[in-house]
């Protein structure tokens, strides 16, 4: 490919949106360093209150913690998940979803996903319910919600709690009966990650658990400080998983911009769709589908490439375009889950997605001209 007009577009460039908030962030950092109060405290509780407002949850329902992985772990602990319990979940997600289940000695029970939305197949999830099922743990993957209202009642009737992995979906929502339902607030407990690359990302690790049940919220607050209600007195065995003041302050600033940044992601996704429509790439590329009534916030913009996905990825990377595969191996085939006894062919849709998905750059500040270059590069590869 000729070097003329060559752009370098990374999969994510956080520097572009940081420009908008730099003075506010530095001001907050100065305040925190003057105070020398770094763990929990008012910075964290302010941020928790603002998250509750944003998510339309009652006061006291948001509990900051050290990461999205810990949010899942704390949620499962607060739901009394133990060895022998089964947790129905998706094999097409980031590892942490199942890792948290397995770390508690419980068994991840995988079901296949939907090829259009990449989210868990709800019908199949329901079919896996048995007397050992303790939790349903769906993931709102890439920023698009699952239609949980379709199965909420079925699980509730069997006393199975729903824990939503909303790590990629802070700000994502779905309109059900003319009401907006936000990712993480539909089930019993919602889990978020503030890893820097997420739509709402800090400057290090961070996470949050939310629940409408005040008893569970109180328990979560104890579990994140070694199960201690009163300092040095331990009601149960918890973990050390707290949000720190610096993360909370930065996240609190970013929360104010989240809606506009998510809107920008949606605009970018719409433009990709338009570009693909006009590109002649139809037989090679399928853009992501959005379920009716969904407010997809495009944590990732993931297309399906029907042939030569890896070759296309290498070609694009060589030409300066950061494209990535999320995820290259379905969780039921991970070496560490061999003991679960799954084999190739068990979840054909998930396996096919691992061979076809390709994430394109999508982030606030990405330029239309850069998107055009990206799609042009794909056209060049497929010679259309």
Ligand X SMILES: *Cc1c(COP(=O)(O)O)cnc(C)c1O
Contacts of 244 (CB under 8 A, 6+ apart): 38, 39, 40, 44, 204, 206
Find the farthest-apart pair of alpha carbons in the chain and give their distance in angstroms, rounded. 68
CA distance 180 to 290: 16
Is 210 an interacting residue with respect to ligand X (CB under 6 A)?
Answer: no
Is 187 an interacting residue with respect to ligand X (CB under 6 A)?
Answer: no
Q: Give residue 309's Cα distance to chain centre.
A: 23
CA distance 269 to 202: 23
* Smallest distance, ligand X to C-beta of residue 8, A: 25
Is 207 an interacting residue with respect to ligand X (CB under 6 A)?
Answer: yes
Residue closer to ligand X by CB (options 69, 121) is 69
Comparing every residue's Cβ against ligand X, the nearest one is: 68
Options 94, 136, 261, 321; binder of ligand X; rule CB under 6 A: 94
Residue closer to ligand X by CB (options 349, 377) is 349
User: CA torsion 61→266→149→192, rounded to 10°?
Assistant: -30
Q: For residue 314, give Cα distances in angstroms to 156, 307, 324, 329.
A: 46, 13, 10, 18
CA distance 47 to 198: 17
* Smallest distance, ligand X to C-beta of residue 29, A: 21
* Count of residues that interact with ligand X, criterion CB under 6 A: 15
Options 61, 89, 90, 93; binder of ligand X; rule CB under 6 A: 93
Options 172, 193, 247, 262; binder of ligand X; rule CB under 6 A: 193
CA distance 362 to 367: 10
Residue closer to ligand X by CB (options 195, 381) is 195
Residue with tokens 């691992």: 354
Options 139, 147, 357, 362; binder of ligand X; rule CB under 6 A: 139
Is 96 an interacting residue with respect to ligand X (CB under 6 A)?
Answer: yes
Residues that bind ligand X (CB under 6 A): 67-69, 93-94, 96-97, 139, 165, 167-168, 193, 195, 205, 207
């Amino acid at each position: 490919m000729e070097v003329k007009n060559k752009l370098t577009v990374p999969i994510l460039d956080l520097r572009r949106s940081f420009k908008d908030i730099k003075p506010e962030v530095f001001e907050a950092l100065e305040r925190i360093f003057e105070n020398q109060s770094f763990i929990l405290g008012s910075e964290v509780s302010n941020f928790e209150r603002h998250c509750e407002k944003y998510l339309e949850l009652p006061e006291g329902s948001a509990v900051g913690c050290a990461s999205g992985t810990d949010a899942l772990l704390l949620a499962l602990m607060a739901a009394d998940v133990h060895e022998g319990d089964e947790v129905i979940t998706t094999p097409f997600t980031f590892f942490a979803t199942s890792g948290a289940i397995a770390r508690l000695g419980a068994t991840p029970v995988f079901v296949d996903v939907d090829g259009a939305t990449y989210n868990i197949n709800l019908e199949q999830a329901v079919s896996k319910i048995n007397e050992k099922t303790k939790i349903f743990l769906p993931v709102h993957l890439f920023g698009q919600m699952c239609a949980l209202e379709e199965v909420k009642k079925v699980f509730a009737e069997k006393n199975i709690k729903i824990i939503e992995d909303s790590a990629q979906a802070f700000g994502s929502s779905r309109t059900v009966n003319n009401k907006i339902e936000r990712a993480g607030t539909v089930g019993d407990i919602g889990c978020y990650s503030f890893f820097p690359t997420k739509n709402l990302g800090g400057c290090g690790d961070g996470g949050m658990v939310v629940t409408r049940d005040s008893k569970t919220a109180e328990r979560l607050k104890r579990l994140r400080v070694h199960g201690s209600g009163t300092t040095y007195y331990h009601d149960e065995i918890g973990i050390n998983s707290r949000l720190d003041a610096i993360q909370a302050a930065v996240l609190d600033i970013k929360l104010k911009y989240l809606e506009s940044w998510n809107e920008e992601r949606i605009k970018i996704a719409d433009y990709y769709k338009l570009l693909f429509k006009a590109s002649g790439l139809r037989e090679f590329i399928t853009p992501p589908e959005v379920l009716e009534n969904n407010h997809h916030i495009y944590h990732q913009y993931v297309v399906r490439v029907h042939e030569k996905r890896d070759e296309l990825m290498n070609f694009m990377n060589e030409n300066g375009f950061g494209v990535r595969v999320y995820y290259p191996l379905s969780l039921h085939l991970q070496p560490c889950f061999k003991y679960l006894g799954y084999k190739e062919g068990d979840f054909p849709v998930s396996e096919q997605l691992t061979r076809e998905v390709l994430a394109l750059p999508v982030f606030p500040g990405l330029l239309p001209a850069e998107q055009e270059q990206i799609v042009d590069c794909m056209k060049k590869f497929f010679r259309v």
